Amino acid sequence: MAGNSIGQLFKVTTFGESHGPALGGIVDGVPAGLEITEADLQVDLDRRKPGQSRYTTQRREGDEVKILSGVFEGKTTGTSIGLLIENTDQRSQDYSQIKDLFRPGHGDYSYWHKYGHRDYRGGGRSSARETAIRVAAGAIAKKYLKQAHGIEVQGCLSQLGPIKAEQFDWQQVEQNPFFFPDLSKLEVLDEYMRELKKRGDSVGAKVMVVARHVPVGLGEPVFDRLDAELAHSLMSINAVKGVEIGDGFAVVEQNGSTHRDELTPEGFTSNHAGGILAGISTGQDIVASIALKPTSSITIPGKSINVYNEATELVTKGRHDPCVGIRAVPIAEAMMAITLMDHLLRQRGQNPHVEVPAPPIAASIC
């Protein structure tokens, strides 16, 4: 495949540059009969939208999504759904100065060498703006998962630079601009961000995503394991440098006697595995975390070169997020929803005869 599609039975294909006329996508494989409107998609797009707080980029993108096909009289028809978001606030002039430069930490260098020709305006195809369509497609998946199977996907910012959430109050996540689950740390966060912005620097973040009420049995053995495909879809988000399932890297120092989730007739006694054993869901909560690097678009000058291999110094102007991890929360939810929906359809196609009582589930780490 040429890279702009994800999924097998539920498949999302996207196009669009940050400063082109529009972004768009095709969502293929949604079963017929799902009630869906543009408003359903807009909710998540608005959560991802820049300009929501003083800590995210002040660009004003309308991000109004149109559904161009696949929905008739309010319900999906089973055919492909065309999505379109027109770009309305493009200040291309901001970028003309970096036409021949490689910004450190960006895809400029790798794109240039891969293609020999690139859309340098705002990162072009490598811009995080591309994720708007993922969020719209993910909103369709989320609605289907919820309506057809009661599955809920929710994300939060679990760490920003040195500040870690220690309590997970999921009700609070949507009540603050950081998607942060630990109310007690909001003030510290606010102060940290203000100071960071003053310095013109950026910082990394950790985002956790959880799926609840996932049936046992999703995921295919060996290569298409649910954890492998979640790693794929989550790592494909811009700026992500690490993916964990369940306890993640903490397992390196764990012993088998403490890591293994024991079973009782009342259910699992713990969820170190993050809801996946041997690549297949157990019916417990699916838990994944991702590490997002600090954006390289900062106002502190940095050394770089141009396409002629000449040394230069670079300051990124334009409007950028000091912590891209914050806006990544709805994107991570979208990618998990897309992967779960694909596996749900695949499992249904391949194992329709298996009807087992819901397994008892006692514990989750969230």
Nearest-angstrom CA–CA distance, 183 and 106: 34
* Binding flag, residue 287, its own copies (CB under 8 A): no
| β-strand partners of 312 | 304
| β-strand partners of 81 | 27
Q: How far is the CB of 334 from its own copies (least distance, A)?
A: 12
| Residue in the structure block whose two tokens are 């003083």 | 54
Amino acid, res. 33:
G
* Binding flag, residue 119, its own copies (CB under 8 A): yes
Q: How far is the CB of 170 from its own copies (least distance, A)?
A: 21
- Residue choice 39, 93, 162, 187 for contact with its own copies (CB under 8 A): 162
* Binding flag, residue 84, its own copies (CB under 8 A): yes
* Binding flag, residue 310, its own copies (CB under 8 A): yes
By CB under 8 A, the residues from 22 to 61 that bind its own copies are: 22-26, 28-29, 31-33
The two structure tokens encoding residue 316: 């990124």
In this structure, are residues 269 and 259 in contact, taking their beta carbons and an 8 Å threshold?
Answer: no
In this structure, are residues 55 and 100 in contact, taking their beta carbons and an 8 Å threshold?
Answer: no
* Binding flag, residue 361, its own copies (CB under 8 A): no
- Residue choice 146, 149, 213, 260 for contact with its own copies (CB under 8 A): 260
Q: Is 270 annotated as a binding residue?
A: no
Nearest-angstrom CA–CA distance, 233 and 134: 11
- Residue choice 42, 51, 53, 82 for contact with its own copies (CB under 8 A): 82
Q: Which residue lies nearer to its own copies by CB, 35 or 175?
A: 35
* Binding flag, residue 318, its own copies (CB under 8 A): no
Q: Is 183 exposed, middle or buried (0-12, 13-18, 19+ CB in 10 A)?
A: middle
Nearest-angstrom CA–CA distance, 298 and 199: 9
Nearest-angstrom CA–CA distance, 192 and 162: 9
- Residue choice 46, 54, 60, 75 for contact with its own copies (CB under 8 A): 75
* Binding flag, residue 92, its own copies (CB under 8 A): no
Q: Which residue lies nearer to its own copies by CB, 13 or 56?
A: 13
State the sign of the Cα–Cα–Cα–Cα dihedral 239, 242, 245, 247.
negative
Q: Is 337 annotated as a binding residue?
A: no
* Residue 84 DSSP symbol: E
* Residue 78 DSSP symbol: S
- Residue choice 118, 129, 142, 185 for contact with its own copies (CB under 8 A): 118
Stretch that binds its own copies, among 8-16, 48-56, 177-185, 187-195 (CB under 8 A): 8-16
Q: How far is the CB of 343 from its own copies (least distance, A)?
A: 10
Give the length of the chain.
366
Q: How far is the CB of 72 from its own copies (least distance, A)?
A: 4
* Binding flag, residue 80, its own copies (CB under 8 A): yes
SS3 at position 362: coil
Q: Which residues are part of a known binding site for FMN? A: 125-127, 238-239, 278, 293-297, 319
